[in-house]
Amino acid sequence: QVQLVESGGGLVQAGGSLRLSCAASGRAFRRYTMGWFRQAPGKEREFVAVISWSGGNPSYADSAKGRFTVSRDNAKNTVYLQMNSLKPEDTAVYYCAAAAPYYSGSAPGAYDYWGQGTQVTVSS
């Protein structure tokens, strides 16, 4: 079992930065692949980034490459999403999610646990 709680969202101007955190509880945290997703009003949930249980070889959606960085600190039971050069189109509710350690893809349906989400709003 893994419980996830996101934090760090807020209002930021275009070009600014935010760091999202996802605090996890549960002894099995180290066994999970962790992903970040986002969902804007009226749109489908969208993959943003994923990182393996070991923290190696993170991958990103094209929209996030070069601007976002995903990392994890298993000792702190925390996953991060550093977001730089934010754009208005990044505005969404951001979710962290946990999947089985053998999964490293972008399909929301493959993720077993989800946080409540944190709102990110980027003003122009």
pLDDT at residue number 28 = 66
34 close to 51: Cβ distance less than 8 angstroms: yes
| DSSP-assigned beta bridge partners for residue 94 | 38, 118
- Report percent pLDDT > 90 for the chain: 82
Could you tell me the pLDDT band of residue 27, with boundaries at 50, 70 and 90?
low
| pLDDT greater at residue 38 or residue 56 | 38
